[in-house]
Amino acid sequence: MAVREGIGDKSGEAAEYRHLGLISCKRGEYDKALEYFKKALGIYMKIGEREGLLASYSDLGFCFQSQSKYDMAEEYLKQALLLSRDIGNNLKEFQCLCHLSVLKASQCNLEKAILHLFPAIQKFDNLRGFLQENDQFQISFLEEHGTFPYKFLSWLLSSTGKSQDALYVEELTRARGLADLMAARYSVQEQISSDPQSWCGIQGIITKEAECACLYISVGQNDVRFWIIKATGAIQFLEKKVNLDQNKVTGIVPELDEFFKEAFRSQAILPEENCEDRSLDDTELTSLPYDNRSVLRDYDAKDFKTSLDLCSKIIIAPVASLLKQPEIIIVPDSCVYQVPFTALADEAGKYLSETCRIRIVPSLTTLKLVQDSPPDYHSQTGALIVGDPVVGEVIYEGRRRNITALPCARKEAEMIGRLLGVTPLIGYSATKLSVLQTINSVSLIHIAAHGNAERGEIALSPKHPFPLSPLPREGDYLLTMADISKTRLRAKLVVLSCCHSARGHIRTEGVIGIARAFLGAGARSVLAARWALDDTATEQFMTCFYRHLFRGESVSESLHKARKWMRNNGFDKVSQWAPFMIMGDNVKFDFGNWPVPSVP
């Protein structure tokens, strides 16, 4: 500070006062913070620095709000809002509107809070539009700036009796980037926007689905909101407050969304006695990509059962009487993607998947995009079958790794190949190059291989080097989200018979992983695994699944019957029959036009 004063750096001096004020706010010393902020404001006004002036108005508004001096807070925030508009600072305008909405909610004036949030999300949508060509920037922008206002507006609307408007606001955050990718692939316009005039017809998406109901879930810190959309177009809304117990280890009561994120992490790697699994992160000389391998390895069947029971009480019990249709389409909040809905049970202990088929969609908008895709877009014949790629010794995450073989994955691919009359890519022939050369043209893609625990990315066979060549690196053999995003898929169904293929980074946008990449690249439906797979059990599961699919049954029905067969034939552990989920459309195949042998 003294140096800046000495050299006459007024802008720097004001910035230092701002920083001191922010530090004081963090420490709860609001009177001292106000002194610093007012000094900064005075300097910015004197030198005419409008961006600094804008920041100071916002600082003072926030500080007065923290002291519950709402009139003063509103005065400064409104000055900040007017100035942000005058100088064209769109992001700051958006933030000022959000602050004003919180201020009004603090005064229990929910209607005025809503009036500030509507223009806020419209401004956010405009800002997001500038990033339309970059999926990663959109995801990051939503995560950093958009999570709170959309969640808050949805909660305010449902709290004031506008539950259907709240549903549309939820849609504005669900898989929004994915919807953009799909719309670009199908050359159609995305129809929902932040303009309330576009908020119509959402219930019509479910009326196009046969014998279905939709369960739409939104999770807050201590509550869950549900929308049940029937095939008739009727929408029912209900809310459940949830009080969790203290964590036995930390003594802290977790927030509900954090509970859902952590509840099934123990399923990421199978117990030690099942070490022959399809996890890329469980191969020789391998450590997990994050620092909690001990937590993941400490699989506790009792804790897992407790988590299942608690999730059943929170998610299923409140809506069970409203879900009587043969198929349930679930639109989960991002934090509950790893919840195995098929393994949730009612009070009598009967699994939800025993009474109905279950399908996951990232959002209703993405389902509509699939429904409206051009009839000739997806291929009707042809299959790419990949099993047990020989990866061998490679460099993985900076270390030498020996990726082990998967004998049952090889048998699985051979079985599907015989059934469909297709020669599978197995062993050394299952190279990344061969897969990418074929993947664009076929109707069905099946990959049985090792998967990465973080994003579900898949280990294929590299182009094997000569004896003295350097070891293959990840770009030579790992099928990544970036690789898939560059393709233009025509597949009706992608089956990822790999560990963790439904996993990814949990963001407001959804789960960012390999399954999302396949949907965004044009796949109509993706079958993926939430956790690590037992090689033997998965081979049996896929044998049953494809037997039904080959007979002309839908993917949802085939999955439903495969689960039932597994439970009744010695594979009754949840980890064996419940890892797979179907995302997207409920497709069928007409294998009569394929050169295939008769049904076995």
- Helix or strand or coil: residue 174? coil
> How far from 333 is each of 215, 247, 339, 389, 422, CA to CA, in Å?
11, 23, 11, 34, 38
Which residue from 462, 523, 463, 464 is spatially nearest to 496, judged by alpha carbons? 523
Do 360 and 381 sit in the same domain of this protein? no
For 256-265, what is the mean pLDDT? 85
Question: Looking at the structure, do residues 105 and 214 belong to the same domain, yes or no?
Answer: no
Q: pLDDT averaged over the chain?
A: 88
CB 361 within 8 A of CB 398: no
For the stretch 127-159, pLDDT in tens is 888 876 688 888 888 888 889 999 999 999 999
- Tell whether 257 and 144 lie within a shared domain: no
pLDDT value of position 595: 61
Give the number of other CB atoms < 10 A from CB of residue 178.
24
Same domain for 240 and 134?
no
Place of tokens 């396949």: 518
* pLDDT, tens digit (0-9, with 9 covering 90-100), for 73-117: 999 999 999 999 999 999 999 999 999 999 999 999 999 999 999
Residue 585 lies in a domain: no
Tell me which of 187, 217, 233 is where a domain ends: 187
Q: 446 lies in a domain?
A: yes
> Which residue among 323, 342, 365 closes a domain?
365
Strand partners, 530: none
Structure-token pair, residue 181: 């990718």
Contact 233, 218 (CB under 8 A): no
In a domain, 253, yes or no: yes
For residue 267, pLDDT over 70 is answered with no
- Asked if 225 and 150 sit in the same domain, the reply is no
User: Among residues 265, 259, 378, 350, which one has the least CA distance to residue 310?
Assistant: 259
Residue 292 lies in a domain: no
pLDDT tens profile 15-24: 999 999 999 9
CATH number at residue 226: 3.30.420
Band (468; pLDDT cuts 50, 70, 90): low
Decide if 223 contacts 243 (C-beta within 8 A).
Answer: no
In a domain, 562, yes or no: no
Residue 32, domain CATH: 1.25.40.10
DSSP for 436-461? HHHTTT-SEEEEEE-B-TTT--EE-B
Q: What is the CATH number of the domain that holds 441?
A: 3.40.50
Same domain, yes or no: 411 and 491: yes
Q: Which domain holds residue 408?
A: 366-538
H-only helix segments in 88-134: 90-106, 110-129
CA 135 to CA 510: how far, in whole Å?
13
pLDDT digits (tens, 9 = 90+) for 487-546: 999 999 999 999 889 988 888 888 889 999 999 999 999 999 998 888 899 999 999 999
User: pTM value?
Assistant: 0.90
DSSP 8-state secondary structure symbol assigned to residue 313:
I
- Whether residue 85 lies inside any domain: the answer is yes
User: Do 48 and 166 lie in a common domain?
Assistant: yes
Residue 274's pLDDT band (boundaries 50, 70, 90)? very low
Maximum C-alpha span of the chain: 90
**80 and 132 share one domain:** yes
Q: Dihedral sign, CA of 77, 82, 86, 89?
A: positive
Coil, strand or helix at 284 = strand
Place of tokens 């400064």: 76
Torsion of CA 488, 494, 497, 503, to 10 degrees: 70
Question: Is 175 in the same domain as 217?
Answer: no
- Asked if residue 214 is part of any domain, the answer here is yes
pLDDT attached to residue 210: 82
CA distances from 530 to 58, 109, 236, 277, 385 (A): 44, 42, 29, 14, 21
Please report, as a single letter, which amino acid is at residue 291. Answer: D
The pLDDT of residue 464 is 67
Closest CA to 432 of 421, 453, 447: 447
Do residue 323 and residue 379 come from a single domain? no
User: Are residues 347 and 399 both part of a single domain?
Assistant: no
In this prediction, residue 163 carries a pLDDT of: 96
Does any domain span residue 423? yes
Q: How many domains does the chain have?
A: 3
pLDDT in tens, 195-211: 888 888 888 899 999 88
User: Among 160, 167, 126, 165, which Cα is nearest to 145's?
Assistant: 126
Starting at the earlier edge strand, list the strands of the sheet with 383-389.
235-241, 223-230, 212-219, 327-331, 357-360, 580-584, 525-529, 493-498, 444-449, 383-389, 425-427
| DSSP code of residue 89 | -
Q: What is the pLDDT of residue 295?
A: 29
Identify the domain boundary among 505, 538, 571.
538
User: Which DSSP category does 144 fall into?
Assistant: I
Q: Say yes or no: 307 and 451 in one domain.
A: no
Contact 98, 147 (CB under 8 A): no
- Angle formed at CA 128 by CA 585 and CA 486, multiple of 5 degrees: 50
